[in-house]
Amino acid sequence: MIIQKYKIVFAGSMGSGKTEAIKSLSEIPVLATETLNTDDASHKKMLTTVGIDYGEITLEDGAKIGLYGTPGQERFNFMWGVISQGAIGTIILIDHNVNAPLDELQYYLDFFKHHAENIAIGVTHIDENLDHSTHQYREWLVSNHLNYPLFFIDARKKEDVLMLIETLITKLEIEHM
């Protein structure tokens, strides 16, 4: 039985690192609904999430946060809103290697801003594509008058993912002071 007071959602395209991010933080074995990837046109990874990923982390005050990962394939987007209900925040992960990462960012922000006011963005795989500038993300946010926290992370590194969680929690604390 899943019991926690708080919930954070990890969203983003297939291969952006949602499952890895949850695995890097979770204090319990991650419930993953991965199956063989049959959509090699979108991504060459072997496994992909088709339901949800679930893990947990405990804050210093003892509060548990449920970590929920959405499936990245657009055909499963009917689940995204359901998974987002009651979340204290959403982390959108963008794979720097996709052909049009800013289009991906626009797509996920357009969807999730209707389900969460508290959003942080993590750009992954920047070390794999040094030809694309990382400045494009901040410039895009500024030109679209958006002010979301933006970080370049490795989803496998606990401290990188924890920074995103702490950012969401800090934003909540500031808004409720």
| Predicted confidence (pLDDT) per residue in 16-66, tens digit | 999 999 999 999 998 876 554 455 555 454 555 556 889 999 988 888 999
Mean residue pLDDT of the chain comes to 86
User: Given a cut of 50, is residue 1 above it in pLDDT?
Assistant: no
Angle at 148 between CA 147 and CA 154, to 5 degrees: 145
Q: Please report, rounded to a whole number, the percentage of residues in the chain having pLDDT higher than 70.
A: 84
Closest among 144, 147, 151 to 165, alpha carbons compared: 151
User: Given a cut of 80, is residue 99 above it in pLDDT?
Assistant: yes
**What's residue 80's pLDDT?**
81
**What's residue 40's pLDDT?**
53
CATH code of the domain made up of 6-175: 3.40.50.300
Q: Is the CA virtual torsion 5, 12, 123, 26 positive or negative?
A: positive
Q: What residues are paired with 152 via a beta bridge?
A: 123
**What's residue 63's pLDDT?**
86
Rounded-to-integer distance, Cα 86 and Cα 7, Å: 7
Mean pLDDT confidence for 120-125: 97
